[in-house]
Structure 1
Amino acid sequence: MARRREHAASQELDVRAAYNAHGPEIYRFALRQLGDGGAAQDVVQEVFLRAWRAMHSYDPQLASLRTWLFAIARNVVVDEARRFAVRPWQRDLTDGSDLDATVGTGGAALDERLVDSWVVEEALRRISDDHRTAIVQTHLRGRSHDEVAAELGIPVGTLRSRVFYGLKALRLAMEEMGVEP
C-alpha cells in the first residue's frame, strides 16, 4: 500500500514538473487560438488532466513530453472551439482585456502551424527511412514522382507504393501520439 502511495506521489510530481515546464506555453498557445483567457485556462487544466489520466500511455521513446502535451492541447483547443461554435454567446461574457496582442494578427494560425509541424516531424521520425524519404520528397517538397524515383534509382511504381504505405504508417504514428485526424 505504501509503495502504491509513493508511485502516485511520484506521478503527481511528474505532472507538476510538466506543468511548471510547459503550462505557460500551452496557455499562450490556447489564448492565441481561442482569444479568451478563461477558455485558455480551461484548456491548460484539461490538458494536464488528460495527461495525468493517460500517463501510463506516454512513451518518451515515441515523442518528447512537450510534443505529447501539445498534441493533447491541440485536441482540447479544437474541442473548445467547437464548444464556442455551438454556444457563441459564451464569448461575449469576457471583456476582451485578456487577449494577447497577436490574436487577430495571424498569431493563432502561426501557432497552430508550428504545433502541427512539431507533430508531423515527430511522426515522421517513427516511420521507416524509405517511407519518410518518399513522403518528404513528393508531398513536402512537391517534387514529381518521376524525378524522385530517378534520383533514388527505383521504379516509379515502387516510389508510389512507398508514398502510399508511408502515409498509412504516418497516420498510424500520429494516432499513437494521440493526434486526432
Structure 2
Amino acid sequence: MTVTAVTTDERALAELQRDHGPALLGFLLGLTYGDRQRAEDLAQETLLRAWQHPEAFEAPYTSMRPWLFTVGRRLAIDARRSRLARPAEIGDSALDGAPDPSDPTESAVAALDVRAAVRELSPEHRAVLVRIYFDGLSVQEAAAELGIPAGTVKSRSHYALRALGRGLPGYSPARTAVARTGR
C-alpha cells in the first residue's frame, strides 16, 4: 500500500512538472533576471516543496499553477534576501588589479593624493578632519579643542569627507564614516 502511495505521488509530481514546469521556469527566469541556473534551482526547490506537501494536491484548486508560482516567488525572494545579507563574492582576478599594500611606492602616492586633497579643503573642514582622523580624537574631544559644538564637528566632518570623495578617485566617504563611528 505504501508503494502505491509513493508511485501515485511520483506520478502526480511528474504530471505537475510536465503541465506547469515550463511556465514555472519562465516565471522564475523573470524573477532572477534571466539567470537560468538560479531559476532552475528555484524550480526544483518549488517542486520539492510540492512533493513535501501532498495536501497541496488535495486543495480545492482548479490548477496548481498559482500555488507553484506563489511558492516559487517566495523562494526567489528568500534567496535574494539571503544573497544580499552576505558580502559579495569576488574572484582571485579582482585582487590582481589591487595595489600591493606592502609596496612603499603605492603608499607614498596615496599619501600625496590625500595631502593634496586635504589642502583643497576650507580651513574649518581641514581642522576637523585633522583632529578626528589624523590625531585620532573623538567628536567630543575635537569639539572641545576647536571650541565648537559636537554637531558642528560632525557636520564639518561629513561635508569634508564628501569633498575629499570628489577629489580622490575610488574613495568612499560612507565606508570611512561607518568605520570611524563603528556603526
Q: Which band: TM-score by shorter chain?
A: 0.3 to 0.5
State TM-score, norm by structure 2: 0.44
State TM-score, norm by structure 1: 0.45
